[in-house]
Amino acid sequence: MHSLFKLIGWLLGLGLLAIAGLAAYLTFAFDPNDYRERITQVVETQTGRKLTIEGDLKLSLFPWIGIQLGATRLSNAAGFGPEPMAQLTQVDVRLALMPLLKREVEMETIILHGLHLSLGRNAEGRASWDDLTGAGSDPVNDSTAPQGQGQGQSEGQSEGQGSGGQGLAKLTIGGLDIRDAKVVWDDRQAGQQLTIEHLNLTTSALGLDTPFDLQLAFDLAMAQPQLAGHVALGGHIVLDLAGQKYRIDRFTLASQLKGKVIPGGALDAKLGTNLALDLQAQSLTLDALSLDALGLQLSGQVNGKQLLTEPGFSGNLKLADVSPRALLGKLGIALPTTRDASVLSKANLAFGFNAGLDSVALDNLKLQLDQTNLSGKLSVAHFSAPRIRYNLAIDAIDVDRYLPPKSEGTTTEATTAPAAEVEPELPLDLLRGLDIDGTLTLGALKVAGLSVATIALPIKAQKGKFQLDPSAQLYQGSFKAGVGADFSGKVAKFSVEPTLDGVQSGPLLQDMLGKAYVSGRAHLEAKLTTAGLTPSKIKQALNGTLALRFNDGAVNGISIGHYIRTASAKLKGGDEPTEGDTTTDFAELSASFLVRDGVLSGDDLSLKSPLARVEGNGSVDLVRELLNYRVNAHLVKSMEGQGGAEAAQLTGVPIPVSIKGSFSAPKIALEYDELFKAYTSQALDAKKAEAAAALEKKKAEASAALEKKKAEASAALEAEKAKLEEQKKAKEAELRAQAEAAKKKKEQELRDKASGELQKLFK
């Protein structure tokens, strides 16, 4: 472009030279056309180019010194085609004679019609004007340099310019009138072709420090990238050359462009502003800024400072209501079908900003998308290693409205083989260079069917290490987690420590999975780590612990009562009963798992219900998506109302139920063999207990009979003993009585004898 300016300057200089030469010749000739051949010879001698003047040359002397030049052509350089490098239809330049005596230049409107420039660059990089500007040649020794234009003249010119010569006291030009100009640029080295045609430039009167109006319009056509259209601009220009202050009031720029390079293929844009530039103060102001393009209406104000040392810009911008859906349609971007066809119908944006060459800060940020509002502030410093700070708030958003519609008639089992996983390529250098400290809060969020409220998403990142500590209120409970991501090494590493407290699991699972597999108030704690970027690698590297507990809920899809009734019927040889209720109520359900390489294993599952106590153990393979779990139910009371007393025979018998198979199609079955073994073992134990009880009973009865016999014998013996004692006593009494009688008889006999003896004696 510098060479192009030199060319234009050379052409203008050539024109002025021609004018000066022609003016000198006026003293000796009346018809300048008599000197046409000489002029063309001089040009060809000096440039090697052929100058063809087809139109008449017209001169004026008083009161205007002027020249009017008709159709004229200047040939192109060798190797750049037969088309003239420059041609024009009319040039008309006139100066007032008398003001020149006062060092004042007054010119009428400069008329330049039908200008056609054919410029180019060949494959070697040589421009078509290089021979005119002396590019690549020695200005002193170049044999093609015009006589008198060597180094000595340059020094003379410098000397003249620095000798204290006085400048113009006044410069006034009636205006510029350039009509139907055309510029063709053919760059063979870059493979680029550019054409500007139908160029019209008009101005009001021009002067030093005099405001003037300018209007410019042209048609543009470019080959690579393909672009074509019309451009027009204008404004009121105020120049203060001494004070280095420049202003354009009511500046407008309008374009109607078409081309493959433009999204949507077409762009109709209008820009308007008042521009003020002060180079001494290094300040810039764009006031009343407005841009209208593609249905976007942007307005605001921009201020610049320290433009030449450390540029900085500030201001505020506002985007009026726009339909993102309509905008994307104009850009030729097809939107996928959304669940809610009314989304992306309204958006607007407003913010204040401060920006430099290596930083930008937005404040008072307000963004509306449909019914969602975002507000806050955001700053980014050091673009090469971004330092990001933000504090943003969203009132409410329903993400599900923007998702594709749910497919109908789909099954849970895959009908085609899963696509091969591709390791995503992360911008690791960017991630490791990020410095983030920000918080995003949401008043309400709905996503994947989940309804979440009072959400806080703080994030910190430095040297490739990210820490997120989200928290939220959901389903009458709370959630929080510590999430870590480490991209500082060769392998991405992650950690998560989630906690659920008092969350109603039924509505949560219903909204998330479409079915409430478990209801009740949920409590969960986990500490997990993993590594990798694909789902399979993340699951394979998953390690840690997990504990969960549900209170006052139910397991849906599994009826312990049904399996108890089924077990009872099978033991009796009957048919399996029809399944009725498919839920199992519980007061508490708890389990803990050890996670190793993507496999969860645990042996302490416990369920407490009014009907049974359930224990379980097994594994959940996340990598292969397989279940291998077994639970044992123990009947703890009568099943009246859930199966009747006929199941009483199972009281105390463990009822085994297996849960096996894939996540998508698990198989839940009663293990009859194990049930029969347990039942038979219990029945055998019962028979053994019954026999032992009968034996003990007989032993007790025999012992009682023996004791009775012993007692009866003892009683008979005692009775006999008593009888003998009585007999003894009676005999003894009889003997005593006999002895007493005998004694008394003896004594009587003795008394009688004694009496007789006495009587004999006394006789």
Q: Which of 555, 548, 546 is nearest to 622 (CA)?
A: 546
Domain definitions of the chain by residue range? 1-106+116-132+170-191, 225-388, 431-550
How much is the average pLDDT of 215-236? 92
Hey, what amino acid is at 746?
K
39-43, 119-123, 358-362, 749-753 — which is least confidently predicted? 749-753
- Beta bridge mates, 31: none
How much is the average pLDDT of 479-499? 94
> For residue range 693-708, what is the model confidence (pLDDT) as tens digits?
777 777 787 788 777 7
User: What confidence tier does 196 reach under pLDDT thresholds 50, 70, 90?
Assistant: very high
Q: Which of 366, 361, 274, 355 is nearest to 318 (CA)?
A: 366
Q: How far apart are CA 563 and CA 645, in angstroms?
A: 15
Q: How far apart are CA 98 and CA 105, in angstroms?
A: 9
Is 341 or 762 the better-scoring residue by pLDDT? 341
Cβ–Cβ contacts within 10 Å for residue 425, how many?
Answer: 7
Is 62 or 229 the better-scoring residue by pLDDT? 229
Q: How far apart are CA 423 and CA 327, in angstroms?
A: 34
- Beta bridge mates, 388: 380, 436
- Beta bridge mates, 316: 301, 352
Helix (H, G, I), strand (E, B) or coil at 294: coil
Burial 608-634 (b: 16+ CB within 10 A, else e): ebebbbbebebbbbbbeeebebbbbbb
pLDDT(149) > 50: no
- pLDDT value, residue 385: 84
- pLDDT value, residue 639: 46
Transcribe 373-399 into DSSP letters.
Answer: EEEEEEEEE-TTS-EEEEEEEEEEEEG
551 Cα distance to chain centroid: 36
Output Rg (C-alpha) for the chain, integer angstroms: 57
How much is the average pLDDT of 187-197? 89
- pLDDT value, residue 412: 41
> For residue range 667-720, what is the model confidence (pLDDT) as tens digits?
877 666 665 565 555 655 566 677 677 777 777 877 887 777 778 778 877 777
- pLDDT value, residue 646: 47
> For residue range 379-422, what is the model confidence (pLDDT) as tens digits?
999 888 889 999 999 999 999 999 988 765 444 444 445 556 77
- Residues 6 or more apart whose Cβ sits within 8 Å of residue 305: 282, 283, 284, 311, 312, 313, 314
Q: How far apart are CA 366 and CA 377, in angstroms?
A: 9
Query: Does the global pTM surpass 0.75?
Result: no
How much is the average pLDDT of 740-752? 74
User: What confidence tier does 96 reach under pLDDT thresholds 50, 70, 90?
Assistant: low
Hey, what amino acid is at 559?
S
pLDDT(541) > 60: yes
